[in-house]
Amino acid sequence: MARIMSRATLLAGFAALAAAAAALAWSGPGSQAQDRPAQDRPEAVRAVPESAAHIQLTFAPLVRDAAPAVVNVYGESRQRAQSDPREDFFRRFFGDDAFGGMPRERVQRSLGSGVIVDASGLVVTNNHVVEGMDEVRVALVDRRELDAEIVLRDPRTDLAVLRIDADETFPAVPLGDDATLEVGDLVLAIGNPFGVGQTVTQGIVSALARTQVGISDYQFFIQTDAAINPGNSGGALLDMAGRLVGINTAIFSRSGGSHGIGFAIPATMVRAVVASAEAGSERVQRPWLGASLQALTPDLAEGVGLLRPVGALVTDVDPRGPAAEAGLARGDVILAVDGQEISDTEAFGYRFALAGVSGESVLRVLGRGGERELRVRLVPPPEDPPREAVRVDARSPLDGAVVVNVSPAVADEMRILQIVGAVVVQEVPPRSLAARYGFRPGDALLEINRMRIEATSDVERALSRGRGVWELTIHRDGRTITTVLRG
C-alpha cells in the first residue's frame, strides 16, 4: 500500500539527505574527524546534521552558476511528403487550394538539451538531437531563442557541437575531469525533460566505465541515478564543484520515464570532440590500430593464462598498419593503454581513441613470451585506395545507392571489416530502389553477374550485364551471401 507523506515531511527528508552528504566534507569546532583518512573514520558515513546551518545546506548556489549555460536545443527538418496519386489528380485542376493552399511538406522536429562550454557560444549536445535537422535553434534561460550552426557531428560518440549565431559573451560551464569521479559521488543533472522547462535532479554516480550499453561506438559511460528523462539528452551532468563531468545521453527504461538508470558521455570524450570543432575539423580524427579485436571469454582467458576475462584479444593484424609495425601479433591480449587497464574491447576503443593522432601510445600486451610493452604510432587510418564515391543510376536493384571503395578510413568510419579490393554501400536513400530491395550501408559488393568488383568503376559496368536478372554476392555482418534478383 502506498504511503502518503506531507509536503513538510518530504522537505525535511530531502534536507536531511543533503545535510548528511555535505557533513562528510564539513569540519567545524569540536570536530577533528576530517583530519583523519577516510578509512580511519567509519563514523563519517553516519554523520547527521549538527546545527540549524547544516539543515539549510542547499545546491542552489551551484545551480545558480551552472543553469544559465544549459540550453534547450530545437531541431527542425522540412521534407517533401510522398505524393498521393488521388491528390495529384485534384491538384492538376484546382492547384494547392484544393487542400487549403497548404504545401505538401512534412515537418520533423526534435527537442533536447545542450551545454555552453565556451563563452563564444560553443554548445555541446547529442548528435541524435540534431541528426537530420536542417534548422537548429537554442533557447536560453532568459527565454531568448537564437539560431545555431552545426559545427561538427560525431555519430560514433553521439555528440554534436553547435555555435550560437550571436555576437556576445555567454555563460559557460567549465569542463571537469571525469577521471576523478568515484562511485558514490554526488552529481546534478540539468536539462529539459518532456519539454516542461529547465529542471535539476540530484543523485550519485552509480557506476563508471559502463561498456555493454549499446548506445554508440565508443561505449564508456558514467551511470547515475539522477533522474534523466526524454528531453534531457544533451544536458549537463555536474560534479559538486559545478564542473561538467558528462553529457546526459540515454536512459534504461521500460516505460519511457526515469527508472534511476541513466548514462552520460564522460567529459574526457567531450573535450576531445570540442577540440576538433575548435580546430575547424569537419569530423573527429582518431588513431588507426590496424588490428581486429574481440572480447575474452572465461575459456579464452584461461587459455592465455589470465585469471579473469579482461583485456582485448587480437584476432587479426593488418600487415600495413601500426600494430604490425609495433610487433602486435594475432593471439596477443591487450591489457592496458597508456597505463590505463582495460576490461574489454569497448574500453580499449575508448582509451585508444583519446590518444589522438600524433606521437605514440604504449600498450601493455600479454603474449606467448609473457607481458611486454609496445609503442604504437598514432596515425589516422589512410584512405588508400581513394573512396571515389559513385551514385548508381542504372536501372537495377542498386539504383540510388552510393558505393565507395573500401580503405582503412572507410572501414573505420563505417565500423565494418576491411575487405581488401572490395566496394561497399555507403548510403541507401529511403525511397530508392536499392532500399526496396533491402540493401543497407555496410554491404560489401564482391561480385555482380559473375564479375569481380574491385573498384566503384566496376559496379555500373557489371550491372549493365543484368538485363532484368542480377546475380550478386555480398558480404554482410560476417556472412557472404549469393542471391539472384529480378526486376
- Cα radius of gyration (the chain): 27
- For the chain, first and last CA: distance in Å? 64
Binding residue per annotation — 407? no
With cell 587510418, the residue in question is 381
Check whether 359 is labelled as a binding-site residue.
no
Catalytic residue among 118, 154, 158, 318: 158
SS3 of 35-90: HCCHHHCHHHHHCCCCCHHHHCCCCHHHHHHHHHHEEEEEEEEEEECCCCHHHHHH
Residues listed for the chain: 487
* Cα dihedral 458, 464, 470, 471 sign: negative
Cell digits of residue 391 = 551514385
Q: Is 292 annotated as a binding residue?
A: no
- The rounded distance, in Å, linking the Cα atoms of 69 and 420 is 48
Spot the catalytic one: 206, 233, 396, 407: 233
Question: Which of 403, 472, 388, 407 is CA-nearest to residue 440?
Answer: 403
Q: Which triple of cell numbers denotes residue 356?
A: 589522438
How many Cβ atoms sit within 10 Å of the Cβ of residue 368? 9
Residue 231 assigned to a binding site: yes
Catalytic residue among 54, 110, 113, 128: 128
Determine the Cα–Cα distance for residues 403 and 424; give it in Å rounded to an integer.
Answer: 6
Question: Among 266, 110, 101, which residue's Cα sits nearest to residue 176?
Answer: 266
Tell me whether residue 259 is one of the annotated catalytic residues.
Answer: no
Which positions ≥6 away from 151 have C-beta within 8 Å?
Answer: 122, 161, 162, 163, 277
| 158 annotated as a binding-site residue | yes
CA distance 87 to 95: 10
Residues 6+ away with beta carbon under 8 Å from 121: 163, 164, 165, 166, 168, 170
To the query of whether residue 233 is one of the catalytic residues in this protein, the response is yes
Active site residue 54: no
Is 233 within any annotated ligand binding site?
Answer: yes
User: Which residue is it, cell 546475380?
Assistant: 471
Cite the annotated binding site by residue number: 76, 128, 158, 231-233
Cite the annotated binding site for substrate by residue number: 76, 128, 158, 231-233
- Residues labelled as active-site residues: 128, 158, 233
